[in-house]
Amino acid sequence: MPTPESAALAAELRTAMGKLARRVKHEDRIPLGQVAVLGALDRDGAMTTSDLAADQRVRPQSMARAVGLLMEQGHITRRAHPTDKRKSLVELTPAGRAALEAERGRRAGWLAQAIEGELSAAERESLARTVTLLNRLAAR
């Protein structure tokens, strides 16, 4: 059972991380769900729509809609599965990779400016140490 101090810190951390995530989302040009699909394809390579749905923890029907929109935008393309001709794989196009990189750049750019504009050098050093701790918690 966590101590009251740890429980309070956890609640404050969740709130702060939620606020920060919502603020970074204001920089988005592509809906978050579509960015997540593009990111998964960038990270893991070509996948079936079903595999994408499982990866993103959404219903296959919802993923099919997202894939359709991304295809209309030219961000992904479909090709035949190499071993199962009943399936197809979706993968990033060069335009999709460029859109994803631009989206990542907008988010990171805003955050980098906020860090430089709001935090002192000592606070930035503290934040850098905190990132290591957050990654450790996330890996648990």
- Listed by start position, the domains of the chain span 10-139
pLDDT tens digits along 36-81: 999 999 999 999 999 999 999 999 999 999 999 999 999 999 999 9
pLDDT tens digits along 8-43: 999 999 999 999 988 887 877 888 889 999 999 999
Give me the CATH topology for the region 10-139.
Answer: Arc Repressor Mutant, subunit A (1.10.10)
Nearest to 116 by CA among 105, 127, 106: 127
Nearest to 105 by CA among 21, 97, 76: 97
pLDDT tens digits along 78-121: 999 999 989 999 999 999 999 999 999 888 898 999 999 999 99
pTM listed for this prediction = 0.70
